[in-house]
Each structure stands twice: as C-alpha cells, then as structure tokens.
A and B are shown apart, each in its own frame.
Chain A
C-alpha cells in the first residue's frame, strides 16, 4: 500500500516529494526533539488542490498523514507518523484576501502568525493571538492547537479569532466551516476544528478576525523577593476588577536565561518578576493605571518600573518571548510543560513545583501566562546522564497531575500531541474520553489524520510516559 502511494506521490510532486535521507531527516521531529520518527515521504504542496489530492490518496491507501506548519509544536504534535506522509505547508504562505474595512484576512495555513499583523499594521489593525512563537509558527498550527499567548487573557485564544475555515476532511471531502462573521447559525464547527490537533483534517484556508490596534499601552514590571508573592499579585489584580491585556511571570532561572539571551535588563535580585500590561483607549488606560499601581505597591513588590517608551516596552517583551529558547543557554535539554491552574491557586502550585523540583533534584524554570493560570514549568535535565530524561518526564507528569488536582488542566495551549497522551484520561472521565473518540471516528473512520496523537488510537499503541515507550520498543520512534 505504502509503496503504491509513494509512487503516486512521486509522480504528482516530483522533486517536491522528499524521500531521501537528507530531505526527510530534518522533518523527523518538531520542537520536542526527545521524540523523532521516520515518515514515508514529505510532500511540499503549493496549492489547495494538491493538499486535497494527497489526503484523498492517503485515505484510499489507508496511510496516515500529518500536516506540518513550522514544526514548533512542543508536544510532538507535528512529529511524523512512522511510515506516514508529512504534508509540509510552508509554501502555502499567501495572504489570499485582506479587507481592512471588514477587518478580516483570509490566509493560507502556512502563513506565519506575525505576518498577518505585519500586513494589517499600516491600517491600524492587528491579529490578536500572540504566542511567543509568533514570529515563526503558522496560522495552521495555531488553529490545530488553539494557540494562545500573553495577550489572550483579554482577547481570547485562536478560536476566538477564527471566523471561518475551509478544510479537507480526512476522507478527502472539502468543508466550509463558519464564515466571515462572528454570528453563525448552527453548531460552532469552526470552534470544534480549533484545537483538534490535526485529527479532523487539514485547514486549507483560514478567515481571521483583525482588531484595531490598542491606542496606548502601559507596561509595568514588578520585582518580588519570592515567586509566590508575584503569583499572589496576579490574583490581587484580577480581584480588583482590572482586566489587563497581559500578565506574565518569570522566575529567577528564566530571568537569567532571558538576560543571557537578550540583555533584557531585568532586576538582578528578583526571585519573581511580574509583567503587567494595560492596553486600550488612552482615557481608559489613564484611569486604570493608578489603580493598578496601588494594587502592585500593596502586593509587596520591592521595585516597580514603568516602560517609558515603545523601545523599553519591546525590551521587556523580548526577554519574555524569547525565554523558552533562551533556556537552551542554561541546559542542553529541557521539557516544557503546559499545565493550567485556577488563578487563585497560582501561589500554591508554584510552592508545590518548587518542592517537587527539590525532591527530583532537577532545576525547574518558571515562565508563564499568569493571568490565565497557564503555567510553563521548564524542567532542565541532561540527557547524557543515565536516567535523567526519565526523571524529568516523571517530574513533568507529577506537575501535570498537581494541576489537575488543583482543579486545572494538563494543557493550556501546547496541546496533548504524543507527549501528554497518558495524562488526558487523568483529567477526563471515561465517558468524556469515549465521547471524544466517538467524535474522532465519526470524522475520520480510518484514523488517518495525525494517528496516535491527542487520543490514543486503536491503530497505534497507547503511549505511556515512563520507561521505553511501546513505539520505541518496536523501534519505530526513538528518543535521542
């Protein structure tokens, strides 16, 4: 079956069907390099028709496929399926339609997140969801993972900004979901597709909502002697009735990394750093600002800085946004986790994580979207040391369970992918899981779209986090 499909794809794509080692190897993993696996081929479609054709062929030959944007998934979401097809969408990067008056943009899935904003800025508009990976990740990937970012506290995640979708379903049928307006008739199918991690097919065209750029920003940076105090301050701000555009926290280790990477100039003594940004119409922000300062001053911050101009504001954000990769300067390997806890439990969660970090003897850097309780503990380890990767994963698992126990979730925005498969059932009841599987099969009876990701598949072995994975035992995927 695979060979027949391969021949077909070769004829169709010629040199855009990659199959030799050098062409395929670089696609073997995504942002989570601990996992990699070998696809049958990688194809580089340049039109929607070509994508539809690939999906139809995969369906016919019963070979799984995975759509790939920029491969920045941190959960193995865009890792190839062993022996399957990778549909790399990077050449599908055109903005098809842009209407400043209607405030919409219709884009191909391979368009980079930030480029939408770049297009809209001259008209005073922007695309609100701002994952830290915005300068590189694609809209297709954002849709599949319902990605969020620092400013999603106020504006919502990707799904709140996708008005319509044209998708090719796993059986090759093309469907139009949603439309050009927020009001729609019938069930929110666009919403269902957002966050489906590629299990419902491939997005071909995405209609995005653009917002007017906030008139003014007021960004403050508050330094604390303890991380928990910074966490508490977030709860205080929200309790005061303010809704800032973003509230982000970094701990000492994350600050050190950011400092090394971009010389962000963060306070050297701080154990916890809180970034709060007010944004909106000038008058509103002016009115909110003194109130915010009052709350922050009362929260025990020992130093408060207000960005005096756009350059200072960008500097503060540059350190925050580059923090994940910057941690690469502190440790050759790390696992990024993505748990969510209720805002009021932030302080407690952070204290527990610190305890766990000590117990496991592994450093944990914390940098997170505090406003919506979305933690990103980065667990630092050295894969060269025997057993350290396993310990790191175990610690990651403990942290996820902690989040669920505190009433939260196992993922805020990075998705389940392959990495968190084992923890979904910890969060959801059997009935919930069954319903999700039911939906999946209803849309994709052959389970060919991103098989084995997000939901354990009947056709792929269930994944566990500890010890050698069944896929690894079979020599299909392996960890470096």
Chain B
C-alpha cells in the first residue's frame, strides 16, 4: 500500500513502521483469524483496518484520538502475522505506534490509575505478590466492586501458591550436554512458581546446566505492549547487562509472552547503542520447548492412566515466535498420550497480557469460545506454553474441572512419576 508517512518524527522506528505499511496489500487474509474482527465484525477492528488507521494517523490525516479506541482493542496476539501472505510485520508497526500514541494521549483519571497500577505492579514479583495477596482478601467483597477492578480480581487464583526462591544455578544431572540461562518471568513467579521449578528439573534431567542471573528483571513485554516504551527499554537494557558475559547455548523462556518480548528487543532498542547486542541476545532466546526438541530429550515414562490432551497454541508462541511444531513433537514422544488440536487453534483465548484487564468483554467472549472448542475435543487436560493462557483457560474451564498445565510441568510430572 502506498503511503506518505513522514519519516523524521518517527526516528529509528520509521523504517520498520513504514515497511509494515507498504508491504500490506489490503487483501484481507488476516481478517478471519483476528479475534476482535471475529467478535465485532467491523473493518476498524481488523488488522487491515488498524494498519490503515495507523497509516492515516501517521500521515496526519486522522486524529489520533479517533483511531485510539480501535488500536487499543487490538490484543497484540499476532495471529494476523501468521495469516499474512505478504509478510507484514504487524508488531513492527503496532508496538512503536502504541509508544508514540501513549506520549500524546490524555487518559481518564481512572484509566491512569489502573494503568499505573498495572505497570508498577505486575513487572515486579514482590509487589505483584503483595497486591495479589491483598486481592485474596478483597475477593469475597467482589460484589461491592464494579468494573475493571472486579474483573481483575476474578482472574486471581483462589489460593496463591507459596513463593519459591530460585537458585542462581542448577547443575545438570549426569553428563553436561549444554549450558543455558533462564529468564524467570515475573507474573509467573507469583501465580505459578512451579513452572520454573519444573523447567529447572526437566533441563537438569536432560543434562543441561541452568544459570538464573540474579540481576534480571521483567522482560518488558507488558510495558511495550501497553505503550510504555520508556519502561520496556529500561528493562531490556538491564537484562542485556544481566545476561552479558555468560557462556551460553541459549537463553530460555518458558512464558510465551516473555519469549516474544525478548525477540522484540532489537525493535525496541532500534537506533540505541545496544541495538547490536540486542540482536545477538534475541537470537539466543529460545522457548523451552524449542530448546528441548532441538537438544533431544530422554523419553518420558507413560502416565499411569492413558491421557487425552488438548494442546492450546499460545499466541505469543505460535504467532509471535512461530513455535507450533516443537511442543507437539515433545508431547508426541510420551507413550499412552493422545494429543488433540483445538478447533480454531489460531484464535486467541482472550488472555493476551493485560487485555483481560483492559477489555474484559471481548476477553470474556473469546475465553468462552476457546473453552467450548476445548471441550469439543473430549480431552482430559489442556497443555499450553504460557501463564496468561493458563489463567484464562482455568477461569473458563473451572466448572468442568479440566486441569490446565504448562508443557514443561507435564514433562516434569512424568519424569517424577507423579502422573
């Protein structure tokens, strides 16, 4: 698509942003996989429409305020990137756009407070833990609260698991086959510390030494995707330092959202002195399932009862990182397990970072749809690769009592003979 976007105001972001616009040919192939388009059925809430709107804003022919609601509605699930035959890198347009928009916009007071709360809490495990802990007490009073605060509370688990202090290093069992570092993730450490423990165990079992650099911070994805680019950049730079100088085969992520965040470091730090380091770093970053499938793992023992498992593709794994094959390959190695794909697997479950906090209605509809499709598989359990999806799926599958697990937790349980 032709455009007249002036480059100067966009600085280093000009190139990736305009490239995304010009490679869009307006063919609409992205529409049916876009969750918001599926729910709302209108062009402004489709990827093609959003690209058009952002282009118009950048060209100066449309007021930012008018376009904002539709850009805000975007889940950032990147299903459109997978669907696009023309190779439009939508995130290259969206992420910087949100950052630019954030600088200019006037938010309502309540919005500001909520946003501030989210940005100042979720990325910091101890603060999040405290807030979540307080939330436990507030839960019984949910009826008294209205709107978003109530929606946020609904997402908190009934009971918060005990915090786990991660070691700085975990030694491989037997011969050391590889050495990696783990990005521990922040929300995940509070909501489900077991994912990290399971990761360490599965890696160790397969002869991998794991470092957990102490200085690491939140990956910054949450900040970047809500337009707080200053915070995202700061986190990215701190992480580059924290992981510098270690001799590593890979940097492991086990939350899809964080993994896609690390892969975006070169975009966030475009034009900064750290840009090159960020590229090397992003290159090393691998989802746990990718690393394990490349390394080759020892076959997990069969579960005590044959199991039917539905595998849910987390958007930030399948679309943002292109990882669909590896987790299925790992699951396929387990004896007595049948793996099912979920219908419309490319459509987001509605979790999408903080989306279910900011757009509860759409998130709810998507969650319900996903739950229906999971139930239709007849599976006993859902396995996926992202804490956000796990929370969302559990909320929507609560009544049916279908357990939801991370891929690595399943492997861990099997190795331990607990399943």
Interface residues of A (CB under 8 A from B): 18, 20-23, 25-27, 29-31, 33, 44, 70-72, 88, 90-91, 93, 110, 112, 114, 133, 135-137, 260-262, 322-329, 332-334, 383-384, 480
Contacts and interface: CB of A to CB of B under 8 A. Distances in A.
Interface string B16-58: 0000001111111101100000000111101011001100100
Nearest to B55: A25
B86 A325 contact: yes
Contact of A26 (B24, B53, B87): B53
**Residue among A44, A71, A112, A334 having the largest count of chain B Cβ atoms under 10 Å:** A71
Which 10 interchain pairs have the tightest Cβ spacing?
Answer: A328-B86, A322-B85, A26-B49, A325-B85, A22-B66, A328-B25, A26-B43, A480-B2, A90-B41, A91-B41
Contacts of A72: 27-28
B62 interface: yes
A390 B312 CA distance: 49
B10 interface: no
A26 B44 contact: yes
A329 B3 CA distance: 16
Nearest to A136: B28
B2 A31 contact: no
Contact of B70 (A22, A70, A110, A480): A22
Interface in B61-81: 62-63, 66-67, 69-70
B95 to A, nearest CB: 20
B87 A329 contact: yes
B87 A25 contact: no
Contacts of B26: 29-31, 33, 71
Given A26-B44, A44-B41, A333-B2, A261 B86 contact: yes
B2 A332 contact: yes
B168 interface: no
Given A22-B62, A262-B85, A333-B2, A324 B27 contact: yes
A93 B41 contact: yes
B369 to A, nearest CB: 14
Given A31-B28, A325-B85, 5 more contacts: A23-B44, A25-B56, A26-B52, A136-B29, A332-B22
Nearest to B57: A22
B42 A88 contact: yes
B5 to A, nearest CB: 12
B50 to A, nearest CB: 8
Given A44-B41, A329-B87, A31 B63 contact: no
Interface string B186-222: 0000000000000000000000000000000000000
B43 A135 contact: no
A18 B2 CA distance: 25
Nearest to A16: B42
A333 B44 CA distance: 23
Contacts of B49: 26
10 contacts: A23-B44, A25-B56, A31-B28, A33-B26, A70-B28, A90-B41, A135-B32, A325-B85, A327-B25, A333-B2
Contacts of B32: 112, 114, 135-136
Given A20-B66, A262-B85, A33 B25 contact: yes
A180 B408 CA distance: 53
Contacts of A22: 44, 53, 62, 66-67, 69-70
A133 B86 CA distance: 13
B84 interface: yes
A21 B66 contact: yes
B1 interface: yes
**Residue among A88, A91, A325, A326 having the largest count of chain B Cβ atoms under 10 Å:** A325
B42 A325 contact: no
A206 to B, nearest CB: 18
A11 B88 CA distance: 39
A33 B1 contact: yes
A25 B52 contact: yes
Nearest to A72: B28
A375 B66 CA distance: 42
Contact of A90 (B2, B27, B42): B42
Nearest to B23: A328
A325 B56 contact: no
Interface in B222-239: none
A474 B62 CA distance: 22
A29 B49 CA distance: 11
A336 to B, nearest CB: 10
